[in-house]
Chains A and B, each alone.
Chain A
Amino acid sequence: MTDDTTAPAAATGGDPVRGNLLFGPQPDVAGAAGYTDHPPRVGFFTDTSVCIGCKACEVACKEWNAIPEDGLELTGMSYDNTQGLGASTWRHVAFIEQRKPLGGQEPGVGHEDVDVFAAAGQLGSPAASPGQPAGSPSSPGPGATTPEPGSAPAGAPAGAISPVAPDGRTELRWLMSSDVCKHCTHAACLDVCPTGSLFRTEFGTVVVQQDICNGCGYCVPACPYGVIDQRRGDGRAWKCTLCYDRLGVGMEPACAKACPTDSIQFGPLDELRERAAARVAQLHAAGVPDARLYGEDPQDGVGGDSAFFLLLDEPEVYGLPPDPVVTTRDLPAMWRHAAAAAASLAAMAVVSFVRRPR
């Protein structure tokens, strides 16, 4: 399992632009890693358009994997106090508050037939109706966004959400996105690991073997997404394992299991890609032109990710790199330049010893 799949490529070189084992599309990742008979490649499709920022994934991940506490300070920048992925944060929910007339979270897309407010009005008292006067047990509390009957602006139906703009778009939106290790097709962390501690699983994911990691920290700057990190006081590198232990017994990862809105979807990658393409088409049809997939393209700089995302804005807004490239893509060129430099160093030394006439 610790054999490095990409090792022969550096020796043989290969096409520097496309198609060597260090870079480019790789349809059978686990097969290339030496698994002859293996289950399909699995991954996450994180649909941020339905994320509600509940952080259940963060908590479930911590609980299942027994990850230690990673600092309890309040950053004051947003609802996000974990700030980014790290050794003790394997799921991270980003919160972006935007004042942009671009259309907000669209939880109603695909659920046109369900009136959630009517349904919410029925909670607790089966006889209550949404139009009941204030003060009754089922009326909205003081902080509720539903206006009281009679006070609703013109054009808005009483008891319903008042749209700020005529087309139903709000001028403020929250973007919430649960970030995770991408389990790249060409994983820089795995490529540069000097011990073989990082390995490719039969599911096509990337996992650190903690008994072999020697704490060199090389994977940390190698990751183009800033995922893996070294744990203080431990020295070893840690990151999301895509719940390798759960996958092995046919269960889904803890975060996907805990997600109440199915923002995090787990499954075979091919199936997820189909589902994601359909969801983007649906959002575009519903008038959310900013919806785009991130990390699903096998032609991208890392050969596509096992964990990919549906985003509603540019990737950098969420703290994701816009066009990441696996660092080892340029490794053949690096070794060539280093060899040339070594040769020039030796040549300089020889020249220095050539006795010149005085």
Chain B
Amino acid sequence: MTGSDVTRGGVEGARPGRDALTGARTGRRRRRRGRGEQAMVPDVEFSSYYGKPILNRPTWKPLDIAGYLYLGGLAGASSLLAAGAHVTGRPGLARAAKLGASGAISVSLAALVHDLGRPARFQNMLRIFKPTSPMNLGSWLLVGYVPLTVAAAAADVSGRHRIVGAAATAGAAALGPAVATYTAVLLSDTAVPSWHEGHREMPFVFAGSGATAAAGLALACAPWQETGPARRLAVLGAGLELGAFRLMKQRMGLAAEPYEQGKQQRLLRAAEALTAGGAALAAFAGRQGPRAGGALPMAYAGWRGLAGGRSRLLTVAAGAALLAGSAALRFGVFHAGVASAEDPKYTVVPQRERLEARARSDGR
């Protein structure tokens, strides 16, 4: 429903041989900067109310809620690493993972409470138990999970109450995967097109991203000799995250477009590069072995003494890249959803197509 208008510059948008209609305005025109050629495929035409969004924009603060998603994934997967390290006798890895899990989930809970505005408001979440509300279930999950991670970390650091610590470690590992993946349901159970349309694949993206973050933390903080499982988890997690994310965007249709625009595109590109690079670096550092540092030029000798050689440096760099990549992914997904809610196109066009497809099938 494009139309023509008489402006000071003459007639705009007139189509010869048609009635000059000025109906409802079409959606926002995409700006094309620095391109010499016109796109062959015209922009999607659709009706809207002065380009105003249909959905109300999510009111969540990006730092609080995207940070909450990221730290939840980091903590949940760290609990798995902690339990594995505990069982297989890797005390350094276990301590790093337990401290990481308890620290991350505590900060994440603080971010959630900060987003609510008043701390006392959190207790309203626990008035009822409500499976249709992912946020309610998540609150109950955190109420169980946070004390377990803190108990596991405290027992590890203090060296006392070992049995309680082991039980808490096991309990946290049992809840950890749910903590890492429920946040995907939290986002998908909204009308925001770029979140809702990904509801099948997003839990896998978040599981993979949580795994790379936890592996990254372990690589950065645990003793080198014990980081073998973390390196393998980094590679597996990166594969799951990147693969599931590709699949998600393929299946989403128009709602995938916000992932390819603006600041979220930069964040997601960075996430892809950092995660893939970090996992590759972690695998490479693992193959080098702890003595690879011996083959270094003399210039690095000082570093060897400080940080345990080149492998140590590579491992820390890989860990940092994985942590940053996972964070960039969560912020990218968050911003893409907000962008899709702000443009009525992503609400109207798929729904209109759905209606027309239904009308066609009914007409047969």
How far does the alpha carbon of A22 sit from the alpha carbon of B132 in the complex, in Å?
9
- Picked from A99, A195, A334, A350, the residue with its CB within 8 Å of the CB of B84 is A350
Q: Is the interface of B mostly helix, strand, loop or mixed?
A: helix
Q: Is the CB of B22 within 8 A of A195?
A: no
Please indicate the chain B residues that have their CB under 8 angstroms from the CB of A85 in the complex: 56
Q: By the criterion of a CB under 8 Å from any partner CB, how many residues of chain B are at the interface?
A: 91
Please indicate the chain A residues that have their CB under 8 angstroms from the CB of B76 in the complex: 345
Q: Is the CB of B60 within 8 A of A341?
A: no
Q: Is the CB of A319 within 8 A of B52?
A: yes
Please indicate the chain B residues that have their CB under 8 angstroms from the CB of A78 in the complex: 50
Knowing A343-B177, A345-B80 are in contact, say whether A194-B351 is a contact too (CB < 8 A): no
> Is A317 an interface residue when CB atoms closer than 8 A count as contact?
yes
Q: Is the CB of B128 within 8 A of A316?
A: no
Knowing A6-B132, A349-B84 are in contact, say whether A322-B348 is a contact too (CB < 8 A): yes
Contact flags (1/0) for A219-240 with B, using CB distance below 8 Å? 0111111111110000100000
> Is B293 an interface residue when CB atoms closer than 8 A count as contact?
no
> Is A148 an interface residue when CB atoms closer than 8 A count as contact?
no
Please indicate the chain B residues that have their CB under 8 angstroms from the CB of A317 in the complex: 23-24, 47-49
Please indicate the chain A residues that have their CB under 8 angstroms from the CB of B344 in the complex: 316, 319
Knowing A2-B128, A226-B55 are in contact, say whether A218-B80 is a contact too (CB < 8 A): no
Within 8 A of A (CB), among B174-228: 176-178, 180-182, 184-185, 188-192, 195-196, 199-204, 206-208, 210-211
How far does the alpha carbon of A344 sit from the alpha carbon of B239 in the complex, in Å?
12
> Is B246 an interface residue when CB atoms closer than 8 A count as contact?
no
> Is A215 an interface residue when CB atoms closer than 8 A count as contact?
yes
Knowing A345-B181, A349-B77 are in contact, say whether A193-B133 is a contact too (CB < 8 A): yes
In the assembled complex, 15 residue pairs joining A and B whose CB atoms fall closer than 8 Å, in A order, are: A4-B128, A78-B50, A85-B56, A100-B21, A194-B136, A215-B117, A222-B191, A227-B56, A321-B348, A324-B191, A337-B199, A342-B177, A349-B84, A352-B229, A352-B236
Known: A6-B132, A99-B22, A348-B233. 13 other contacts (CB 8 A): A100-B21, A221-B56, A222-B189, A226-B54, A317-B23, A317-B49, A334-B185, A334-B203, A341-B177, A341-B203, A341-B206, A345-B211, A353-B229
Residues of A within 8 A of B (CB): 2-4, 6-7, 9-11, 22, 77-78, 83-86, 94, 96, 98-101, 188, 191-197, 212-218, 220-230, 235, 313-314, 316-324, 327-328, 330-331, 333-335, 337-346, 348-353, 355
Residues of B within 8 A of A (CB): 3, 19-24, 46-50, 52-60, 76-77, 80-81, 83-85, 87-88, 115-118, 121-122, 124-125, 127-136, 139, 176-178, 180-182, 184-185, 188-192, 195-196, 199-204, 206-208, 210-211, 229-230, 232-233, 236-237, 240, 337, 341, 344, 347-348, 351-352, 354-355
